[in-house]
A and B are shown apart, each in its own frame.
Chain A
Amino acid sequence: MAQTKALTGEGIAVTVSPMTEPYWQATRERRLVAAKCTQCAHFRVPFLPFCPNCNEQEVAWVELTEPGTLYSFTFYPHPQRESANDPTMLAPAIVEFAEAPGVRYAGNMIDVDTADLAIGMRVETDWIFNGDGWGLPAFRPLA
């Protein structure tokens, strides 16, 4: 069908708050992390100030090292394609992680034809960097 490519990162805006900064600092080192409650081990997404399970505030940022699983996706003509006839697609995807129940991250599917995209496929994380050096996850199917 059509090849997928990530958005190139230079102009992509990201806003960082004191709450989310540890996540973004880890992306600079190509590490995907998730916030885990130090009290009850509940993974907290979105990153709000209290654990919805036990209402404690402290979190530990744990690295996700295992492959993720494609939860759902879309695709549409790539905004940065070279011409109107260029069939390249942008494929935003939602990926979940067995290591961090409840956590889902969004990123672009890469190095895959849209015809081969399938919910449930296992994916590895790669990185795109914006102009400020913040990393944006991109996901590639595992063979």
Chain B
Amino acid sequence: MDGNIRDKVAIVGVGATPYYRRGQSWPKTIYTMIGEAILAAAEDAGISVKDIDGFAYYSNASSGYAEAMDTATIVEMLGIPEVTFTGTLTGGGGGSAGAVGLAAAALLAGETTYCVTLMALQQRKQRLGSSFAALAPTPETSFLQPSGLVGPGHLMSILARRHMHEFGTRREAFAEIAISSRINAMNRPSAIMREPMTLDDYFDARMVSDPLCLFDFCLETDGCIAVITTTADRAKDGKSKPVYVMGSTHGGSKDWGRAFMGMQMSDEYFASSGHAPVARRLYEKAGVGPQDIDVALIYDHFSPMVLMQLEDYGFCAKGEGGAFVESGAIRFDGGSLPVNTHGGQLSEAYIIGMTHIREAVEQLRGKATNQVAGAEIALVTGGPANLPVSGMILRR
């Protein structure tokens, strides 16, 4: 064993429900959406749902912050005869791109043959935008929440302003990320937001938590996406073109730790995405570098965190993310690094990172709506959040 998953496993199936505005998936239950997505993924892979025997989750298998994804319920519901692996990454949305790595570890250990990774989100009971505020503070959040840092946007605005202070980053850079994402969403039937957005629209938008305005925030949506991962030898005979996993890493530094849930990151990490160590290890394992990435699907809960990930994944130097995006580099049309060709969580839909994995697979199958010509290698990242954060590199 060389201790590397590179090219040994592949994503062979992707399935999704439609995307809904927050709460509008009801009266479908969350398990209805889970079943629909898994059945569609199995169909895409050309296997029976009864061939699935593994589950690799992230975010502690929670769906949003109000509900959970329970393997026992799923196998009862779909008649999956026997489950041989069910595990989760800890933390929150930071693990989305790393959950496929958890699947890979289990596949290569022989603990599962077809492994599902999924996320279902239904914000009928609890909006994510107010999820922290809805919770009574813990002894630890009692040091932040009473100051009015109650929502994710409040917390992220603190990091964004620090980046602006240290590096001269401008709101124009955040605007470019929002506008570029919107352009990519406009021709996608699955996208929630398809109206054009101008720079004036951006600067006229309501300032929610200075310096972040409404368009710096991701959407609040419902839906479910499931992907099926298997070993490369099984994948080559599948119905769909396999998308091989070159690397999938998760973790991070204690200097990032709980990140904006504590605001005690070291100076080096504070105005960052926390992804730098995970990115270094990912490139090393995958045997490629940032120059080899044809399309990047970057977790975009808030626009400034896209910019900070572009720095941490080495597409530009630390502090130069603003200038990089303002140069037009991330545009689908004419950019050197097309980013979030599906419109991302800012404009298509927010399923806690899974839309990025889905888009990477579509790009590498050559079937994306905004297809990057000749795309061979894609980067997918998990959310800048409390540890673990994660990244994944896929190839066709």
Contacts and interface: CB of A to CB of B under 8 A. Distances in A.
Contacts of A108: 147-148
B190 interface: no
A119 B262 contact: no
Interface residues of A, number: 35
A143 to B, nearest CB: 22
B356 to A, nearest CB: 27
Nearest to A7: B148
Contact of B139 (A19, A75, A79, A94): A19
Interface residues of B, number: 34
A15 B139 contact: yes
B108 interface: no
Interface string B117-159: 0000000000000000000111111111111110000100111
A105 B146 contact: no
A106 B270 CA distance: 15
Given A72-B158, A119-B161, A15 B142 contact: yes
Given A52-B254, A104-B263, A108-B148, A74 B157 contact: yes
B264 A102 contact: yes
Interface string B210-225: 1110000000000000
A16 B264 contact: no
Interface in B254-290: 254, 258, 262-264, 266, 270
Interface secondary structure of B, over-half rule:
mixed
A136 B146 contact: yes
A16 B162 contact: no
Contacts of A105: 143
A13 interface: yes
Interface in A6-63: 7, 12-17, 19-20, 45-47, 52
Contact of B162 (A12, A71, A103): A71
B210 A114 contact: yes
A94 B158 contact: yes
B137 A106 contact: no
Interface of B: 136-149, 154, 157-159, 161-162, 165, 207-212, 254, 258, 262-264, 266, 270
Shortest Cβ-Cβ A-B pairs, 4 listed: A17-B139, A74-B157, A106-B147, A92-B147
Given A7-B147, A7-B148, 13 more contacts: A13-B145, A14-B146, A15-B138, A15-B141, A45-B262, A46-B140, A47-B139, A72-B165, A73-B161, A75-B209, A76-B148, A92-B158, A104-B264
Interface of A: 7, 12-17, 19-20, 45-47, 52, 71-76, 79, 90, 92-94, 102-108, 114, 119, 130, 136
